[in-house]
Amino acid sequence: MKIIKTIDEMRDISKDIFKSSKELGLVPTMGYLHEGHKSLIKKAKKENDLVAVSIFVNPTQFAPDEDLENYPRDLDRDAKICEELGVDYIFHPREEEMYPENFSTFVLPGENMTNIMCGITRPTHFRGVCTVLTKIFNIISPQRAYFGEKDIQQLAIVKRMVEDMNFDIDIVGCPIVREDDGLAKSSRNSYLDSNERESASILRKSILKAKQMIESGERDAIRVQASMIEMIESEALAKIDYIEILDFETFQRLKVIQNKTLISMAVYIGKTRLIDNMVIDLNK
């Protein structure tokens, strides 16, 4: 396994891979890898000749009041995980390599996909995500890139960007990996103390409550949402950022639950913002 820190070296390797007709899979990350990341890497290993993992804590997707400085970083730990899983390349550039002093171009996703959910309270987040991924896709030139479905809005926006901008890359969504109590795996889970960690299970419990209501015949989205809000607000350490019940295909808010429905949420447990979602397909 090779750790690459410069754009030029990564590009040279990518060109050599292209000439060899081998297929390259990419797992883009901000590091501090967990079981969710591991599942992406394992899938990439199965579907490609070679696998690259990018590790870059991207400053442009953090707002000034967010946790950029505190975001967990441990390259030695991440490199050990990658090597054990058979990763071929880690791309780990410095911030000044990705964003030199004269950098001024950003990729802006459509408002129809960013004026809801995480885009409301993090208005510059997806601009930063799309910008850094555009750069990473251009530098590494993978045939496939792997993303977790926990960040369901990000996954949808990236798929749209790749289609709109004619990237020759398959975007592969992979199922959420969860802790034993159902909490979605996240690098930010490391922020939680023992009391907060116990409280965090309320996210999954509230989604399962919504699922149970829908499967029992409830179709009023407002009632389902209200039940989730009541449940989460009963947890003293929890503060709701958003709870949305949306059409899975259009991301439009629903009044009546039908067809394929996305239940999505962001909740603060103490100071830590956690996200989760579930897709319920009434056609199945």
Find out whether 199 is annotated in a ligand binding site. no
User: How far is 116 from 121, CA to CA, in rounded Å?
Assistant: 9
19 annotated to a ligand binding site = no
- List the 272-281 sheet strands across, edge first: 238-247, 260-269, 272-281
Q: Is 186 annotated in some ligand binding site?
A: yes
Two structure tokens written together for 146 = 């792997």
Q: Determine if residue 215 is labeled as part of a ligand binding site.
A: no
Residue 212, annotated ligand binder? no
Catalytic pick from 14, 26, 37, 40?
Answer: 37
Instruction: Say whether 143 counts as a known binding-site residue.
Output: no
- What are the b/e assignments for 29-40, b being 16+ CB within 10 Å? bbbbbbebbbbb
* 25 labeled binding residue: no
Spatial separation of the C-alpha atoms in residues 141 and 138, rounded to whole Å: 5
H-helix or E-strand spanning residue 96 = helix 95-98
Residue 37 known to be catalytic: yes
125 known ligand binder: no
Residues forming beta bridges with residue 54, ordered by sequence position: 28, 91
The answer on whether 80 is annotated among ligand-binding residues is no
* Residues whose CB is less than 8 angstroms from the CB of residue 133 and which lie 6 or more positions away in sequence, other chains included: 28, 145, 158, 161
153 is in an annotated binding site: no
Distance between CA atoms of residues 255 and 271, nearest Å: 31
- What own/partner pairs with CB < 8 Å and gap ≥ 24 does 64-72 have? 66/122, 67/188, 67/191, 70/191, 71/30, 71/32, 71/187, 72/31, 72/32, 72/187, 72/190
1 belongs to an annotated ligand binding site: no
Q: Is 279 within any annotated ligand binding site?
A: no
DSSP 8-class letter at 186: -
Q: Does 30 carry a binding-site annotation? A: yes
Give the N- to C-terminal CA distance of the chain in Å, as an integer: 43
Determine if residue 37 is labeled as part of a ligand binding site. Answer: yes
Containing H/E element for 114?
A: helix 111-114
Q: Which residues are annotated binding-site positions for ATP?
A: 30-37, 148-151, 177, 185-188
Q: Which residues are identified as catalytic? A: 37
Q: Which residues are annotated binding-site positions for beta-alanine?
A: 61
Q: Which residues are annotated binding-site positions for (R)-pantoate?
A: 61, 154
Q: Which residues are annotated binding-site positions?
A: 30-37, 61, 148-151, 154, 177, 185-188
